Amino acid sequence: MAMSHAIHLRDRSDVLDDFSVEVTTKDTAQLAALSGAIPKGTIISIPFLSTESDADRIMAAKMVRQAGYEPLPHIAARRLGSEAVLSAMLSALVNDAQVTRLLIIAGDADPSKGPFLDTATILRSGILENHGIRHVSIAGHPEGHPIQNAAMLNSALLEKRQIMEAADIEWSIFTQFAFASEPVLAWIGELRRLGIEVPIHVGIPGPASVRTLLKFAAVCGVSASTAVLKRYGLSITQLLSSAGPDALVSEYATALSNADRGDVRLHFYPFGGLRKTVDWLRGYRT
């Protein structure tokens, strides 16, 4: 199976080669105005938010494509009411936005709203291949999962790999954001030892107020202890200040110069707003 080129880092700007960004449907309209800071062809992931409709998601993917970027819509398996709903959405995404890749997650609906209990259920269905989806991204959990332990997570990951490789579907992994690089790098090393060589997109919290970062951390189950915040250059007393990921990204720039970690890229979550993240990207490159 064809693999994307590995990134060999020489200085801090190189760590931003082939970065990706998550952009909510309401913010996709900003992309055309920000095209000077985000290279054409950049992967723009579009989260599957419960407050939005399928029509919203399809329009967002279309706007991403029209702005010159590669749309990566998220699909939440447990939130889909039927196979027909998924098929209709895929048809629209492919026809209206030329979508060729998806990020599939289980989703948090409990019980499931339809026949798809998890990511693997969709992967086994054959629906993706029928609609011409040739690349699937799945979620990675460097800091663990609230329900599944590490052995369960690894087993599920290997199962998904088996399904996708049997179907000749290219794949990659996107992680949740983390405040510290060490657990993420250790997790990447473990995946490589398991023989998983696909691209890994490491989640980076974009610049935002510390209060905002902590709010998203709590919702996402991300470790946000005082010790971690201190290493990230923050403290609990700085809740109203704004923080950027300079130190964290620099840690990755140093660590990823080791080619043994394979193809690892950065994926930005612009919690403080898309424009603020874009401004940070401009500044970090200079």
Residue with tokens 């696909």: 198
What is the C-alpha separation between 234 and 169, in angstroms, rounded?
41
In this predicted structure, what is the pLDDT of residue 198? 96
What is the C-alpha separation between 140 and 161, in angstroms, rounded?
13
For 184-213, what is the mean pLDDT?
A: 89
Q: Which residues contact 182 (CB under 8 A, 6 or more apart)?
A: none
What the block records as the tokens of 122 is 């969709």
Range with lowest mean pLDDT among 95-99, 105-109, 208-212, 219-223: 219-223
What is the C-alpha separation between 122 and 86, in angstroms, rounded?
9
Backbone angles phi, psi at 82, to 5 degrees: -165, 165
Picking from 153, 136, 146, 138, the residue whose alpha carbon sits closest to that of residue 187 is 153
- Whether 140 maps to a domain, the answer reads yes
The domain tally of the chain equals 1
In this predicted structure, what is the pLDDT of residue 121? 96
- Whether 276 maps to a domain, the answer reads yes
As beta bridge partners, residue 173 has 138, 200
Picking from 206, 274, 250, 245, the residue whose alpha carbon sits closest to that of residue 38 is 274
What is the C-alpha separation between 90 and 131, in angstroms, rounded?
7
What is the C-alpha separation between 59 and 56, in angstroms, rounded?
5
Picking from 21, 99, 18, 13, the residue whose alpha carbon sits closest to that of residue 57 is 99
In this predicted structure, what is the pLDDT of residue 37? 81
- Binned at pLDDT 50, 70 and 90, residue 6 comes out as very low
Q: Which residues contact 283 (CB under 8 A, 6 or more apart)?
A: none
Q: Which residue has the higher pLDDT, 119 or 34?
A: 119
- Binned at pLDDT 50, 70 and 90, residue 230 comes out as low
Q: Which residue has the higher pLDDT, 266 or 176?
A: 266
Q: What would the pLDDT profile of 125-169 be if each residue is shown by its tens digit?
A: 999 999 999 999 999 999 876 667 778 888 999 999 999 999 999
In single-letter form, the type of residue at position 52 comes to E
- Whether 151 maps to a domain, the answer reads yes
> What does the mean pLDDT of the chain come to?
85
What is the C-alpha separation between 108 and 221, in angstroms, rounded?
13
- Whether 4 maps to a domain, the answer reads no
CATH code for the domain in which residue 141 is found? 3.20.20.220
- Whether 34 maps to a domain, the answer reads yes
Q: What would the pLDDT profile of 44-74 be if each residue is shown by its tens digit?
A: 999 999 899 999 999 999 999 999 999 999 9
Boundaries of domain holding 30? 12-210+244-285
- Whether 103 maps to a domain, the answer reads yes
- Whether 258 maps to a domain, the answer reads yes
What is the C-alpha separation between 160 and 142, in angstroms, rounded?
17
- Whether 227 maps to a domain, the answer reads no
